[in-house]
Structure 1
Amino acid sequence: MTRLTRTFAAVAALGLAFGAASFAPPAAAREYVSVTVGTRPPPPRFERVPPPRAGYVWAPGYWNWYHGRYVWVGGRWAAYRPGYVYRAPVWHPYGRGWRIERETWVRDPHWHR
């Protein structure tokens, strides 16, 4: 082996070692924060739903609990996810208060490829 070949092999090995050492797989944990409030949320506001957009679903507005009070979060377009159904946030009675179930995408049981 020539000196140039050895140098090239050493640099390649160092590069592979550095790349392997710096690889971080995506985190598998999910963050979930539960919010329970003592007062009932106000009734939903009326929102005019815009005409349909290809590749998107309408995510309606909802009341969110922010800094000790209810704040209206307006509706928005969410990118469609094939095989899933969008579920909007909803407040449920919980003990002596109210708890929000955050928006989520759930598997569509009727969807087939």
Structure 2
Amino acid sequence: MPVNTRGGATFSALHAAIAAMKGEHTMMMRLPRKLALIAGLAIAFGGMAYTQPAAAQVHVGVGIGIGIAPPPPRVERLPPPRAGFVWAPGYWRWNARWHRHVWVTGHWVRVRRGYHYRPAHWQRGPRGQWHFRPGHWVR
């Protein structure tokens, strides 16, 4: 049975309003927790859904063509052979800041069995632009 209070509202109406607000508050507190749990599980299991095969190799490259041909390669004095290494000859690298080619000295690269080393070089594209191809291993 409703009981009147000083403000004129009945006790049961006031109690119902407070209960409704508590329910909303509890519901609002539960929603972010549920969303956080779902997001955490999605991240955890999403990473397990796809794994790259161990033997696969990823190569990322950006091709930039320039209109200035590289100078002829410099003559480098070849150092004595080193066991387990192959000599990667020097090459001209484009420096966009200076707007010119800069010489990169040759260096030793560890041998990979079953592969041969293809040195860095410049290649002229079909539109006359020059494209740099870095040194890499080929089967």
Q: What TM-score does the superposition give when structure 1 sets the normalisation length?
A: 0.67
Runs of 4+ in 1 over 2 A off after TM superposition: 23-30
Q: CA deviation at 1:30?
A: 2.6
Q: Which has the higher contact order (CA 8 A, sep 6+)?
A: 1
SS in 1 for 2:87: strand
Q: How does 1:73-112 map to 2 (within 5 A)?
A: 73-94=104-125, 95-107=127-139
Q: Deviations over 1:50-86 (max 9, x none)?
A: 0100000000000011223211100000000000000
Q: CA deviation at 1:90?
A: 1.2
Give the alignment's Cα RMSD to 1 decimal: 2.2
The alignment-based identity, stated in percent, is 48
2:71 corresponds to: 42
**Hey, what's the Cα distance between the residues in 1 that align with 2:57 and 2:86?**
27
Q: What TM-score does the superposition give when structure 2 sets the normalisation length?
A: 0.56
Which has the larger share of helix? 2
Amino acid at match of 2:113: P
SS in 2 for 1:34: coil
Q: CA deviation at 1:97?
A: 1.7
1:30 corresponds to: 59
SS in 2 for 1:86: strand
Distance 1:28 1:79, change over 3 A: closer
Which has the larger share of strand? 1
Length, aligned pairs only: 87
SS in 1 for 2:138: strand
2:81 corresponds to: 52
Can you give the 5+ residue segments of structure 2 that lack an aligned partner in the other structure? 1-43
2:31 corresponds to: none
